[in-house]
Structure 1
Amino acid sequence: MSIIFNEKESLFSLYTRNSLYQMKADNYGVLLHTYYGKKTEHMDYSYLLCEREHSFAGSPYEAGNERWYSLETLPQEYPSYGAGDFRRSALQICRANGASALELRFAGYEIKEGKYNIPGLPAVYAEEGNQADTLIVTLKDTASDLYVHLYYGVLEDLDVITRAVRVENRSGEEIYLERVMSTCLDFMYGAYDLVTFYGRHEMERLFSRTAVHHGVQSVGSTRGASSHHYNPFVILAEQGAGEKSGECYGISFLYSGDFLAEADHDQVKQTRLVMGIHPDNFHYLLKPGEEFWSPEAAMVYSSQGFEEMTHAYHKAVRNNICRGKFKNARRPVLLNNWEGTYFTFTGEKLLQMASEAADMGVELFVLDDGWFGKRDDDCSGLGDWYVNEKKLGCTLGELSEKINGMGLKFGLWFEPECISEDSDLYKEHPDWAFQVPGKSPMRGRYQLVLDFSREEVRNYIYDQMCKVLDSAHIEYLKWDFNRSICDVYSASLPAARQGEVLHRYVLGLYDILERLNQRYPDMLIEGCSGGGGRFDAGMLYYTPQIWCSDDTDAIERLKIQYGTSFCYPVSTMGAHVSACPNHQTGRITPIGTRATVAMSGTFGYELDPAKISQEEKEEIRGQIENFKKYYELIQHGDYYRLTSPFDNSCYHAWESAATDGSEALVSVVANHTYPNMAQETIKLRGLTPEAYYEMNGKSYLGAALMYAGFPMPKPTVEYESFQFHFVKR
């Protein structure tokens, strides 16, 4: 059992393969967080608590004259608002009388075999063979029958501990939930950096590292989606920690809506990290007898730097978050028509593109935006999910049949969450879109957002999608969402419940995605939100891959995919070889470099084959064969960040190594080209030190490649790329 409760010490110890998480109910029933770190033999780490009085630090009533005992300075497992702890709280409520103070005390526990799940929300699950246990710790308010159940999932061999919260109202009065964080980590000692992943549309998940200083630092989203701007994954890292050394704590929030992560460094140098639903747009009515589940947070501790943490997340995301047929199956190499044609296409043009794609070895043809309703630009048609047969010159079934006849699978783009004012659906149901009564709505991409918190809206969109999906042989669906949400108001809810709309929206989104997964188990679904605007572990529970960014420029993608890699595996990153000059940046890069970068993703093409040379077509054939050859190694091997694209280096390099050290593929892109360049070496990782590896007929000692390095060739053109395949003899 990975969870041990010492009744005498009221001590909970949660063990994974490399970590120990510990908490203790003290003499007053306060649940204290005493340790999270490297796995050790049993020890009650509450010895670290010091009886030291701090000025103006209040004490609970039952503590009497023990002035050193203050919730303001004690490390707590789940701190509440208004009861003497002035740091960032995990739970805040408003009672019927307007009061917010809440005191939580230990009221019991339960240990179960297996991993808990959450109704209507994504959660890490245990595969057959995984050791998984659940701990439920119950806290009770001292002044009412409000219960807070803390859920801990311990996946021992994965090195993952998950957390979620269920708030239960057994009192006779209504309460409002104002803030429900999914996790809280309190550190009594240590100097830390907060690592976050920021960005914007077409430049998502850029690596940022800032020292945790006195005060509160936060990242989050109030855009209705996890957003391009900040990712719901953060790392608290020991200062000085790097890829191979130092302590770090990762938290991945399995949620696709508004979120908040806060680091609070207090007056006595303690650090608290909380993460959960963003409270700004959250005001949730909990009636007597009702309960509320928070989304899940997945935590990983590493004592050996970012690399060990990354490997734990990659395995957990691939095997214990992604689901269905395609979580480990080889994904087809695709051609998407978007950058090749945009809205200007005919059925004849699509068939021409598909024919040339099939000749190059592509396996899936994807028809993007513009196939439905009155949709020749992005100002009309959304919501009218019926095929524009006049534009295609045939039915969708006939088009898919012709494409299948070329040996290709067929895929289709949807944007189900949005609606155009110039659409039949909007004219019939304007109240189905988010807009505040009496106010002109805010448009984004000249479109509005449908109220997915309403069941009748979801059912209509689901039924329309199914009619299309059933009308043709469609084996891939791209689910897009191209704006942020504002003017949040649901015509179906009373004023007192408008603060629930955005959370109910996310639950509605998950509801439709779950239904699609159940109805079409053989269909690959790719998530997208203007590229990477909703790239989170919650979406990966429903879509095993997500379009990484609308920026398809290979050199910019180096930074985007680097940041993404800290939590999310290669198999989840949608990446394509696009046209040149690039449509976003105008940059010219070799087609080989574009392929090298896209291979560190799901791999595909986003161009018009008619506009490339015969020589490039031949090169594409070779690229596809190489991708298939190295597929298992790239998609399921251990990923190593050998350099950072943010360093002022001439080369950026990364590696995929077999978990048994039998082979490795090193990919390199020359960032800068100079005359008379100095020689640089790249040090490999993940090899067997005493073994010899062959590459291009030469033999190298594993230890030499890892500790001395491998010399980089001189680039002959700007942005040239190289790939080196090392195989153990």
Structure 2
Amino acid sequence: MSIQFNKNTNSFLLNTPSSSYIIRIYDNRYVLHGGWISRIDDWDDDICSMPLIDRAFAPVPEELHGKADFSLNSLQQEFPTNGRSDFRIGAFEALCADGTTISEFFYESHKIYKGKTPIKGLPATYTKKDSEADSLELNLKDPVTGISVTLIYTVWNDRDVICRRTVVKNDSVSAEGIYKNQSVTLRRVMSASLDFMTSRYKMLQLSGAHARERHAIWRPLVPGIQSIESRRGTSSHQQNPFIALADYNATETTGEVFGFNLVYSGNFTAGVEVDQFNMSRVQIGLDPYNFNWKLDAGETFESPEVVMVYSNKGLGQLSRTYHDLYRDNMCRGEWQYKERPIVINNWEATYFSFNAEKLFKLADKAKEEGIELFVLDDGWFGKRDDDRSSLGDWYVNTKKLTGGLEEIADGIHKRGMKFGLWFEPEMISPDSDLYRAHSDWCLHVDSRSRTLGRHQLVLDLSRDEVVDYLTETLSKILSSVAIDYVKWDFNRSQTEVASGSASPENQGKTSHKYYLGLYRLLENVTSRFPHVLFESCSGGGGRFDPAFLYYMPQCWTSDNTDGLSRLAIQGGTSIAYPSSAMSCHVSAVPNHQTGRITMLSERGHCAMAGSFGYELDLNKLSQPELQEIKEQVELYKKIRHTVQFGDLYRLRTPWDEPSPAESTDYTAWNLVSKDKKQAVLTVVWKFPEGNPETQLVKLAGLDPKAKYRLTCYKSATIRAMLADFPFPIPESEFAPFPADVTTSGEKLMNAGLFIPYKPQYGGSVQIVLERL
């Protein structure tokens, strides 16, 4: 098994293919961390364990008073607590019956078994067969309060992945005195806490804002606390529930990197505390903000899961490990491995102003271009002519759609396309029939006014009756017409997070219970309609997290569809999430979010980094633009499987700084099919200068012994533009090398391709490689 217990050293060894995670039991009570390192198989002695050192002013537990070198304040721990000699932030805090928050957990027992157990009410990675992973349950207990904690570790046998979570039980029936059979209030429960012996790392976080999500931010660790969190009731545009620690000199291909990704969609915290001895404590879990969980005697609380990934081959290998795990063991259902259809969404083409005639006119043009799925976005329901009304009234706006949804769905299907529909189920408008009937169904505090965001309120999904109502309402719509795709949106952060059905002592549960309710709703709806492709959205990428991938295999990456903006957004997203999960569209120019004008070919190349589509009015385009879209669609169908399910290699990232000698900044990546028969290289110049240097791009992931044919596709709009030049442009100017050139994978990876910047490329080049 990948998990072993050594009785001689009283320690556990958790081995992935490339790493070892060590847990030590000291004095048969204290659970200490022994390191997360490159793999070892011999651990019959403690020679490499952190030594006990007598530190100045270090408090020592009374029962070990004769051992001045044992202090929790200077040791690596597996699940630290507050108030008992460790002055760093603990992984656990509870308000006990005596009004104190002191707790201390000692080792009681353990269990090792094959496979992986699910988490009640929460999404998590899963095994398809028990042989994929082994699990360890470490049972700890506070002998005073009777609170027990079980630390659960799952080690994947063929992946460098360890999943962690925490289960807390109020077992106070075994306590004595004032603690016996008393409730406790949980205030902090981390899913994982991990102490590194050094602070010689860079911390990576994915941060931004609406329309600027998940930019990769690097910073060296310094003494004190460096952390990220969301208090918005979502995993958020501003911070993603992911951090990583990397060697100072780590690159895409070299160095150790440790990743931590929380499988949760609500408030979270993740950070690193560097102490006086330059040890680094990493913690990730539910944010303590607005979290107070009253746990009665006999009750259990389960934390979300953390997916921890190790790489000793740089950030790129860490990313590919996350990608494969999430595609294989997080996503589920009919669309897990199915190629995603090419989309046309009417939102930026029509916004709220549409009728059946306008929609069918757009669909007819999309069909001519070879597009496969037509999505009707916001505005089809209630009296929805703007964003000020009707959320919650999920019935058809017959003034706009006189023939109902049936007419639209049937008309789209008769054109040979799939039909999709937009919902925002978690919201309610004050101007709605649902609000007039159930004004107490939103998150609110009775004594305070209600804050509106985007003119709307948030439904209280901590209430079972609201979840049941939404389950039946959505099911009725999805059953009434043939719907192939659903875009599930969420367009405001949560405020007044309280429930009209909760007692005062249980209001602190509302934030987390909301997500337990949401996950129940998602499970209900997606299981009832397994053929539907569900895509999550939250004002763009405001809830792009692994928990949603459990229910929906792709996510709208950002409301910002500007190609150059998407380089940083998609690049940062790709650090933890697979290409198949990134929904990427081509939109009109000037771009609606940035005002920037870029070539259609460049927008297409950027959008072909994920699940592909369009969000513009095709009827307003020129003939060369329509011809190019048709060619883009034909090309994407040829490379779709490689893009969505292949291996990603970032060759030049948006966060790489150009050297002083470079005049041109560019981004480059290639995607390689699992069988290495096909690859797609994309190079995008972000800020080209006049007469710049030639770029040398070395590919990765190819079969070094194979021969590949390289084809660079040409832009119809650029061909048309250059045809108007007062002097002829040779055909050779359209590509960086002759058509159908052939060379070896070894040369492409070791020698590389010279790709000069030329305006004739339109700011980007895409090259498809086919193995001969």
Q: TM-score range by the shorter chain?
A: over 0.9
Match in the other structure for 2:24: 24
Match in the other structure for 2:625: 616
Q: Which deviates the most, 619-628 or 704-713?
A: 704-713
Give CA deviations for 1:260-286 in whole Å, capped at 9, x if unaligned.
Answer: 002000001101100000001110000
- Cα distance between partner residues in 2 of 1:227 and 1:558: 19
- DSSP-derived class of the 2:408 partner: helix
Match in the other structure for 1:164: 165
Match in the other structure for 1:147: 148
Give CA deviations for 1:34-79 in whole Å, capped at 9, x if unaligned.
Answer: 0112111221557432231112211112212211100111100111
- Cα distance between partner residues in 2 of 1:190 and 1:557: 32
Count of residue correspondences: 729
- DSSP-derived class of the 1:281 partner: coil
Match in the other structure for 2:288: 279
Matching of residues 345-356 of structure 1 within 5 Å: 345-356=354-365
2:772 pairs with 1:726 = no
2:545 pairs with 1:536 = yes
Q: Paired residue for 2:392, among 361, 383, 388?
A: 383
Q: What is the CA-CA distance between 1:184 and the residue it aligns to?
A: 0.9
- Cα distance between partner residues in 1 of 2:209 and 2:73: 37
- Cα distance between partner residues in 1 of 2:558 and 2:701: 29
Match in the other structure for 2:713: none
RMSD over aligned CA atoms reads 1.4
Q: Paired residue for 1:711, among 754, 760, 763?
A: 754
- Cα distance between partner residues in 1 of 2:433 and 2:145: 51
Give CA deviations for 1:444-464 in whole Å, capped at 9, x if unaligned.
Answer: 111111100001111112211
Q: Paired residue for 2:535, among 515, 520, 526?
A: 526
Give CA deviations for 1:648-699 in whole Å, capped at 9, x if unaligned.
Answer: 3432111001334433210111222322221121111112334433324323
Matching of residues 214-253 of structure 1 within 5 Å: 214-253=223-262
2:504 pairs with 1:474 = no
Between the aligned residues of both structures, percent identity stands at 44
Q: Which deviates the most, 703-712 or 9-18?
A: 703-712
Q: Is the 8 A contact 1:127 1:319 kept in 2?
A: no
Q: What is the CA-CA distance between 1:718 and the residue it aligns to?
A: 8.3
Query: What residue identity is the alignment partner of 2:764?
Result: S
Q: Paired residue for 2:276, among 267, 271, 282?
A: 267
Match in the other structure for 2:104: 103
Q: What is the CA-CA distance between 1:712 and the residue it aligns to?
A: 1.0
Give CA deviations for 1:293-339 in whole Å, capped at 9, x if unaligned.
Answer: 00000001111110111110000011111111111101111111000
Matching of residues 668-679 of structure 1 within 5 Å: 668-679=683-694
- Cα distance between partner residues in 2 of 1:688 and 1:522: 36
Matching of residues 179-190 of structure 1 within 5 Å: 179-190=188-199
Unmatched runs of 5 consecutive residues or more in structure 2: 173-180, 659-663, 711-738
Match in the other structure for 1:684: 699
Match in the other structure for 2:113: 112
2:329 pairs with 1:329 = no
Query: What residue identity is the alignment partner of 2:66?
Result: N
Q: What is the CA-CA distance between 1:144 and the residue it aligns to?
A: 2.5
Q: Which deviates the most, 104-113 or 677-686?
A: 677-686
Matching of residues 348-367 of structure 1 within 5 Å: 348-367=357-376
- Cα distance between partner residues in 1 of 2:585 and 2:645: 19
Q: Is the 8 A contact 1:169 1:289 kept in 2?
A: yes
Give CA deviations for 1:174-221 in whole Å, capped at 9, x if unaligned.
Answer: 001000000011111350111001000000000101111100110010
- Cα distance between partner residues in 2 of 1:708 and 1:129: 44
Q: Is the 8 A contact 2:114 2:130 kept in 1?
A: no
Match in the other structure for 1:510: 519
Q: What is the CA-CA distance between 1:530 and the residue it aligns to?
A: 0.1
Q: What is the CA-CA distance between 1:435 and the residue it aligns to?
A: 1.7
Query: What residue identity is the alignment partner of 1:211?
Result: P
Match in the other structure for 2:726: none
Give CA deviations for 1:334-353 in whole Å, capped at 9, x if unaligned.
Answer: 11100000001111111111
Match in the other structure for 2:64: 63
Q: Is the 8 A contact 1:220 1:259 kept in 2?
A: yes
- Cα distance between partner residues in 1 of 2:615 and 2:130: 40
Q: What is the CA-CA distance between 1:613 and the residue it aligns to?
A: 1.4
2:433 pairs with 1:424 = yes
Matching of residues 31-110 of structure 1 within 5 Å: 31-43=31-43, 44=45, 47-110=48-111
Match in the other structure for 2:13: 13
Query: What residue identity is the alignment partner of 1:59?
Result: V
Q: Is the 8 A contact 1:201 1:533 kept in 2?
A: yes
Give CA deviations for 1:89-125 in whole Å, capped at 9, x if unaligned.
Answer: 1111110211111111000001111112101101111
Match in the other structure for 1:577: 586
Q: Which deviates the most, 182-191 or 559-568?
A: 182-191
Q: Paired residue for 2:650, among 641, 646, 655?
A: 641
Query: What residue identity is the alignment partner of 1:258?
Result: N
Match in the other structure for 2:573: 564
Match in the other structure for 2:316: 307
- Cα distance between partner residues in 2 of 1:691 and 1:403: 44
Match in the other structure for 2:175: none
Query: What residue identity is the alignment partner of 1:141?
Result: D
Query: What residue identity is the alignment partner of 2:142?
Result: D
Q: Which deviates the most, 658-667 or 165-174?
A: 658-667
- DSSP-derived class of the 1:4 partner: strand
Q: Paired residue for 2:674, among 650, 653, 659?
A: 659
Q: Is the 8 A contact 1:673 1:717 kept in 2?
A: no
- Cα distance between partner residues in 1 of 2:293 and 2:675: 49
- Cα distance between partner residues in 2 of 1:674 and 1:693: 31
- Cα distance between partner residues in 1 of 2:363 and 2:694: 44
Q: Is the 8 A contact 2:369 2:630 kept in 1?
A: yes
- Cα distance between partner residues in 2 of 1:642 and 1:587: 25
Q: Is the 8 A contact 2:262 2:285 kept in 1?
A: yes
Q: Paired residue for 1:699, among 742, 754, 761?
A: 742
Q: Is the 8 A contact 2:535 2:554 kept in 1?
A: yes
Residues 1:445 and 1:105: Cα distance change in structure 2 (over 3 Å) = same
Unmatched runs of 5 consecutive residues or more in structure 1: none
- DSSP-derived class of the 1:445 partner: coil
Give CA deviations for 1:462-518 in whole Å, capped at 9, x if unaligned.
Answer: 211112111110010110000000111101101111111010001111111101111
Q: Is the 8 A contact 1:683 1:709 kept in 2?
A: yes
Q: What is the CA-CA distance between 1:129 and the residue it aligns to?
A: 8.1
Q: Is the 8 A contact 2:115 2:130 kept in 1?
A: no
Q: Which deviates the most, 80-89 or 329-338?
A: 80-89
- Cα distance between partner residues in 2 of 1:474 and 1:690: 46
- Cα distance between partner residues in 2 of 1:284 and 1:46: 42
Q: Is the 8 A contact 1:694 1:727 kept in 2?
A: yes
Give CA deviations for 1:8-39 in whole Å, capped at 9, x if unaligned.
Answer: 32211111111111101111511110011211
Q: Is the 8 A contact 2:375 2:420 kept in 1?
A: yes
Using structure 2 for the length normalisation, give the TM-score: 0.93
- Cα distance between partner residues in 1 of 2:342 and 2:46: 52
- DSSP-derived class of the 2:374 partner: strand
Residues 1:130 and 1:564: Cα distance change in structure 2 (over 3 Å) = farther
Q: Is the 8 A contact 2:114 2:131 kept in 1?
A: no
- Cα distance between partner residues in 2 of 1:618 and 1:45: 68
Moved over 4 A (4+): none
Using structure 1 for the length normalisation, give the TM-score: 0.98
- DSSP-derived class of the 1:617 partner: helix
- DSSP-derived class of the 2:767 partner: strand
- DSSP-derived class of the 1:616 partner: helix
- Cα distance between partner residues in 2 of 1:700 and 1:355: 42
- DSSP-derived class of the 1:158 partner: coil
Q: Is the 8 A contact 1:670 1:718 kept in 2?
A: no
Give CA deviations for 1:686-718 in whole Å, capped at 9, x if unaligned.
Answer: 123344333243233333322332111322158
- DSSP-derived class of the 1:688 partner: coil
